[in-house]
């Protein structure tokens, strides 16, 4: 059993510790095991922790529960993703409240270069169904990963059409991975595990309680470069997700509908408030996001006359190999600090060698 994983799981089990406090601890101590081995005074002096939380950490001894959790994960072929792991969805790290530990089952790349979230009402109209189906079909062959919440309505339609179009799709759950909710999606879930996956921050055995879904929604919003709202009333889970996407500085799109249709009222409000871009089809989305096919510019001549530093050469090599990726991933693969990487990237941008894209992604020009 991986010792560090044991401590990582244990951190999430301590009552009242919370995401931000765990992040603060890991910023100081680097590894979860170091937190448990630190003195109470050191823990208490960490920003946002204090005496009460420090005491909870030092007095927590139920490592047997963490061991049991890890055994169940292994038995069910579930991958734990700690927020410092390479495979952890890196876009979530740009959010102010990323989950410390995620549980994942599937084969999709959670750091795919193009990720969109498709959300909407559970009681869609025929108009909403048609919009969702056509939108997903427009994204076929565009190397896009589609995220949604596996709920009835727009979510399930998006997942189903994605599978039909051979697009990887991931469902973000408001419960543990040992449950299927709603149960009617059992067959859909089996297909998604073969061509996408399921993701949650909730441990095995967690029920689909109502208060879990707003927490789920922040992952749906934070994982994506763009969130697309198909149909929604002014109140509901889709509007919560849309507001989260807006606050995370993600690109937000909404389809318009009839002004008299309640299930389009939320979309119209987002457009009216200039929070969402009015969307008409998937082609517009690809163009707006800079994902539409373009004639490739020859960079050979440019490289002949540009003298690059060693750090800049590393950046160019990573972007050439991995395509559009976020700044955190660039730093990781290059082995550079954020300040050194930022300086090198600025120089490369000024020389038109790299370009910034929506969703804080970078690629070669």
Q: If pLDDT is split at 50, 70 and 90, which confidence band does 153 have?
A: very high
For 11-28, the three-class secondary structure string (H helix, E strand, C coil) is HHHCCCCHHHHHHHHHHH
Angle (nearest 5°) at CA 311 between 308 and 314: 90
Q: Where are the domains of the chain?
A: 1-75, 106-288, 300-364
- Quick check: 104 and 197 in contact, CB under 8 A? yes
In the CATH hierarchy, which top-level class contains the domain 1-75? Answer: mainly alpha
Q: If pLDDT is split at 50, 70 and 90, which confidence band does 1 have?
A: very low
Domain 1-75 identical in fold to domain 300-364: no
Please write the tens of the pLDDT for every residue from 163-214. 999 999 999 999 999 999 999 999 999 999 999 999 999 999 999 999 999 9
Q: CA 270, CA 246: separation in Å to the nearest integer?
A: 10
Domain 300-364, second-level architecture: Orthogonal Bundle (1.10)
In the CATH hierarchy, which top-level class contains the domain 106-288? Answer: alpha beta
Give the residue from 328, 333, 301 showing the smallest Cα distance to 316: 333
pTM given for the model: 0.78
Q: CA 316, CA 356: separation in Å to the nearest integer?
A: 13
Please write the tens of the pLDDT for every residue from 305-360. 467 888 888 888 888 877 777 777 788 788 888 778 888 888 888 888 888 776 66
Q: CA 286, CA 114: separation in Å to the nearest integer?
A: 10
Q: CA 234, CA 240: separation in Å to the nearest integer?
A: 10
The pLDDT value recorded for residue 361 is: 75
């Amino acid at each position: 059993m991986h010792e560090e994983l044991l401590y990582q799981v244990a951190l999430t089990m301590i009552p009242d510790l919370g995401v931000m406090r765990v992040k603060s601890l890991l910023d100081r101590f680097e590894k979860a095991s170091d937190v448990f081995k630190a003195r109470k005074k050191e823990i208490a002096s960490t920003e946002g922790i204090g005496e009460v939380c420090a005491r909870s950490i030092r007095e927590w001894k139920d490592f047997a529960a963490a061991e049991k959790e890890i055994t169940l994960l292994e038995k069910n072929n579930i991958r734990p993703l700690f927020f410092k792991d390479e495979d952890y969805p890196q876009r979530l790290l740009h959010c102010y409240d990323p989950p410390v530990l995620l549980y994942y089952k599937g084969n999709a790349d959670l750091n795919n270069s193009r990720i969109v979230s498709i959300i909407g009402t559970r009681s869609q109209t025929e108009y909403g169904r048609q919009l969702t189906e056509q939108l997903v079909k427009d994204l076929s062959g565009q190397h896009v990963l589609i995220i949604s919440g596996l709920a009835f309505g727009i979510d399930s339609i998006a997942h189903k059409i994605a599978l039909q179009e051979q697009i990887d799709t991931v469902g973000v759950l408001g419960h543990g991975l040992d449950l299927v909710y709603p149960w009617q999606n059992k067959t859909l879930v089996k297909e998604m595990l073969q061509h996408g996956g399921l993701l949650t921050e909730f441990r095995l055995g967690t029920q689909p309680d109502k208060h879990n879904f707003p927490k789920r929604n922040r992952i749906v919003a934070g994982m994506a470069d763009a969130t697309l709202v198909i149909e929604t009333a002014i109140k509901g889970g889709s509007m919560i997700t849309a507001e989260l996407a807006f606050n995370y500085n993600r690109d937000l799109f909404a389809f318009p509908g009839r002004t008299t249709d309640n299930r389009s009222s939320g979309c119209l409000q987002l457009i009216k408030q200039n929070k969402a871009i009015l969307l008409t089809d998937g082609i517009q989305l690809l163009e707006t996001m800079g994902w539409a096919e373009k004639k490739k510019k020859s960079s050979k001549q440019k490289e002949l006359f540009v003298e690059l530093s060693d750090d800049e050469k590393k950046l160019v090599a990573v972007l050439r190999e991995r395509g559009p990726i976020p700044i955190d991933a660039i730093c990781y693969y290059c082995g550079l600090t954020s300040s050194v990487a930022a300086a090198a990237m600025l120089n490369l941008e000024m020389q038109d060698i790299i370009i910034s894209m929506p969703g804080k992604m970078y690629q070669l020009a």
